[in-house]
Chain A
């Protein structure tokens, strides 16, 4: 992979998840991120941004902006999603029971479960008045 980084601001609406997909794909192509890693990073960022937007509607005041940062360092892709909404750690949400039979499966919590499972690391920090989620994926 070619080392590099990118930082951009997103508005707080679901339409921006489409933009996230485009940004991640272009960044990935430019920096030579392998297709499988690119897919899981894209999916994880889609889930995290979706979470921020939908959660912000439940708990005012809503964040005014989301900051997305991407970087490639040696054999690792890293990404950060930061918002200025009230403190919210999605990693504290209950983990879905993936072994439950069909009629008992609850459709909630799938997004964050995907992020946790597909990334090598997921960390939440409250930095001043901002929520920051950092994810990373090693590239073979």
Chain B
């Protein structure tokens, strides 16, 4: 699993790559929850290089999105690979989470908000 954080005005971007599984989901949870709590008001999880995720990782996505929205923030996901998109659709995450096709599409929606907030 790789995890990099980028910060733009009003927007934290977490670039998640590689494999998220039962063994490293706890580490992902700690990192993403910390970013959701201390980062910018909007959180974008960029999954462009995420090759594999199982239910342990999906549970973290759900938890973080709920947490972010409960505190009035926004949470979105972008750049799902074919496999990750399939699991998102299978468990209905595409309907309850905000998902953008690509990072560019996500920024087009989220950046105007962050600029307005700045």
Contacts and interface: CB of A to CB of B under 8 A. Distances in A.
Interface of A: 14-15, 17-18, 21, 36, 39-40, 42-43, 46-47, 50, 96, 98-103, 105, 107-108, 110-111, 113-114, 117-118
A108 B19 CA distance: 21
A111 B87 CA distance: 10
B57 to A, nearest CB: 10
Nearest to B57: A110
Contacts of B109: none
Interface in B93-110: 95-97
Interface stretch (B4-12, B32-40, B58-66): B58-66
Contact of A102 (B55, B66, B90): B66
Interface string B34-53: 00000000000000000010
Contacts of A17: 21-23
A118 B54 CA distance: 13
A136 B97 CA distance: 30
Interface string B79-101: 00011001100111001110000
A114 B92 CA distance: 11
A99 B95 contact: yes
Contact of A107 (B21, B62, B87): B62
Contact of B91 (A46, A96, A102): A96
Contacts of B21: 17-18, 21, 46
A117 B90 contact: yes
B15 interface: no
